[in-house]
Amino acid sequence: MKTFNNITKALLGFTALAAFSACDPTEFSKPDDGFVAAPTTEQISFTIAPTTSDFRFTLINTSSVKGYAMWDLGNGTTAKGDTVTAYYPLPNNYKIILKLSTNGGSGQLEKMHETTKTDYAIFTDAKYINLSGGVDALNGKTWVLDSLAKGHLGVGPAGSAGLDWWSADPLAKKSTNAMYGDELTFKINGFSATLKNFGNSYVKDFRKDNAAYSNPVQIDGDYVVTYNNPAPGSWGISEVDGKTYLTLTGDKPIFPAFDVGAVNGRYEILSLGENLMELVAIGGDNNAWHYRLIPKGYTKPTVTADMNVTDAGSANTYTIGLSNVVIPAGVTISKFDVTFGDGSTESGDSETKTFTHTFYRAGTYLIKGVLTTSSGDISFSKEQIVAANHPDYVPFLLDAVVMYNDFSETSMAPMAGEDCDVTIVGNPSVIYPNRSSKVAFYSKSAKEWANANMKLPNGGRFNLTLKHTFRVKVYGKAGDKVLLKLENTDLGGNAWQTGTSDLIYTIKATNTWEQAEFDFSGVAAGWDWTGQQFTSNVVTDAKFNAGYYNIVRIMLNPGVGTGTHEFYFDDLEGPHVEGMKSAKM
């Protein structure tokens, strides 16, 4: 560690930013006072009075005109009110500016204030050391957003920690192509703050027209702007009414990765340790904005654990819990959530929580666990095969056709696209026989077997014993062919070997809603050479008609691999699926 004399020599002549405290500001002249002209320099005055500390001075507005007092303390911080306290820890000449505003305008007065003593306490103060690395960190300390942690950004009402309304998920803003690479470096030598943003910055919508920015492009409701070579600014730490603040000032905007127009460049310090800093600022929209930052290059310690699924000793019942849990120092755990793969979930408040769960239907269930920690979420997954139905389970199968997905109100399972785009759009023709407001739109280009598909949740299987007809409304070009088939995805990349033979509906009229039906009675499936994966009739073969197929695929002009092919479809329905919720038709 350098000696105090060496520290003094190294820092002498640099501007020091520091703390201030302020009482409540005076108001503008009340309406019954009438019009008050903008004060002249002669009408503005203030005194600089020493305190019991060699480094703190009381500034008192003694102007002959009543108005709103705003101070630039000359140390990189501002204050408001008739009486404020300024902190000057290093020898220097500080230019203090009092700006006084009335309902007729404003004026200001400047004074120079010289100090000759050094407050060596700042060089051992944990806040200063944690933020800047201290006097031995010649290049300062660089901070970045903790982008992999939930809540690295957030917003809430003024007075909150800024997480009530929105708490950003990990990498929630990666689509902005700005922000996550930004670096903010603090040096105690000169109390400099430098923003490195690689040429662009992410800013709130009301900040995009700042003179320092150009070429605003809207993304996620806010804007990415061109912002080249931000000028270095200054930083200071302040104590106001029992709260600690970090203030950033500069000729150009300086901020931690996301410019929300922090009022007076001030950020309340919620926590400031060696490897974590949490801030909240009142933005230009009067909302509280939250920031979570970590040192550049820092690898956060994470919790490690194993999730176990063990037989509980009774039919289809298992115990789920964690073992070999290692919690690094400083990391806390808030909850442990488990989803069982059959639509059920449970939550516990610690890593010691265990869950006992009974599966009633045979199937393969993906059990997932999420451990929420202060250093990020830890995810686990285990696949559990339940070979037989529970002895108490009574099969329930309706002799009815049910709605799988109408893209408006009913969704047994989501519709996905493989090698094609499947999007939910407005109905192009809201007339009979389809008055739905929303429908699905399919588009493929140069892909022979591109398909829209709906995979049932774990444990769900189609049953063709009572009903074996699938229906879907289609809207496209006359002559285009729509194929619907079933597959079993248990075989992974070989699922195609289980597929049903082609059932094709040819669209009759252009741009007219039609009901396409696909009856699987007498339809073969699989391939002869696969042995057990072949049948001549999926409806009558017990290996195929129940508990086998779990995905339905829809293709347009299958086998055609050139050009672009598009159509709309809606109201996918078919045989009742045991255990799955849907709307009965």
pLDDT in tens, 120-158: 888 889 999 999 999 889 999 999 999 988 899 999 999
Residue 101: pLDDT band (50, 70, 90) is very high
**Per residue in 369-383, pLDDT tens?**
999 988 788 999 999
Q: Please give the share of the chain, as a percent, with pLDDT higher than 70.
A: 93
Question: Cα separation of 578 and 585, whole Å?
Answer: 15
* Contact yes or no for 75/236 (Cβ under 8 A): yes
Residue 535: pLDDT band (50, 70, 90) is very high
pLDDT at 199: 94
Judged against a pLDDT cut of 60, whether residue 225 lies above it is answered with: yes
pLDDT at 22: 39
pLDDT at 27: 45
Residue 551 bridge partners (DSSP): 455, 487
pLDDT at 584: 39
Between these two residues, 450 and 547, which has the higher pLDDT value? Answer: 450
Judged against a pLDDT cut of 50, whether residue 533 lies above it is answered with: yes
Dihedral (CA of 554, 491, 536, 455) sign: negative
The amino acid at 435: R
* Contact yes or no for 413/456 (Cβ under 8 A): yes
Question: Cα separation of 575 and 400, whole Å?
Answer: 6
Judged against a pLDDT cut of 50, whether residue 300 lies above it is answered with: yes
**Per residue in 392-443, pLDDT tens?**
887 778 888 999 999 988 888 899 999 999 999 999 999 999 999 999 999 9
* Contact yes or no for 385/361 (Cβ under 8 A): no
Stretch 52-78: mean pLDDT? 90
CA–CA–CA angle 199, 167, 283 (5° rounding) = 60
* Contact yes or no for 77/20 (Cβ under 8 A): yes
**Per residue in 249-272, pLDDT tens?**
888 999 999 999 999 899 999 999
* Contact yes or no for 191/76 (Cβ under 8 A): yes
pLDDT at 572: 97
**Average pLDDT over all residues of the chain:** 89
**Per residue in 177-206, pLDDT tens?**
889 999 999 998 878 999 999 999 999 999
pLDDT at 340: 94
Domain annotation for the chain: domains and CATH numbers: 4-122 (2.60.40.10), 125-295 (2.40.128), 304-386 (2.60.40.10), 401-584 (2.60.120.260)
**Per residue in 455-487, pLDDT tens?**
998 778 999 999 999 999 999 999 999 999 999
pLDDT at 581: 62
Question: Cα separation of 233 and 246, whole Å?
Answer: 13
- Going by C-alpha positions, the residue among 232, 221, 295 that lies closest to residue 258 is 221
Stretch 340-354: mean pLDDT? 92
DSSP single-letter state for residue 562: S
pLDDT at 530: 65
pLDDT at 142: 98
Q: What pTM value is reported for the model?
A: 0.54
pLDDT at 12: 35
**Per residue in 18-59, pLDDT tens?**
433 333 344 444 445 678 899 999 999 999 999 999 999 999
The beta strand positions in 406-503, using DSSP E, are 415-418, 421-426, 438-445, 451-455, 469-475, 481-487
- Going by C-alpha positions, the residue among 524, 446, 453, 442 that lies closest to residue 484 is 453
* Contact yes or no for 273/279 (Cβ under 8 A): no
Whether the ω angle into residue 433 lies within 30 degrees of 0, i.e. cis, is yes
Stretch 283-290: mean pLDDT? 97
pLDDT at 220: 84
The single residue listed with the structure tokens 């194993």 is 306
**Per residue in 560-579, pLDDT tens?**
999 999 999 999 999 999 87
pLDDT at 472: 98
pLDDT at 583: 43
Judged against a pLDDT cut of 70, whether residue 323 lies above it is answered with: yes
Residue 9: pLDDT band (50, 70, 90) is very low
- Going by C-alpha positions, the residue among 59, 185, 50 that lies closest to residue 110 is 59
CA–CA–CA angle 75, 69, 87 (5° rounding) = 25
Give the other-Cβ count within 10 Å of 422's Cβ: 20
For residue 384, the SS3 value is strand
DSSP per residue, 407-418: SSS-BSS-EEEE
DSSP single-letter state for residue 535: B
* Contact yes or no for 258/208 (Cβ under 8 A): no
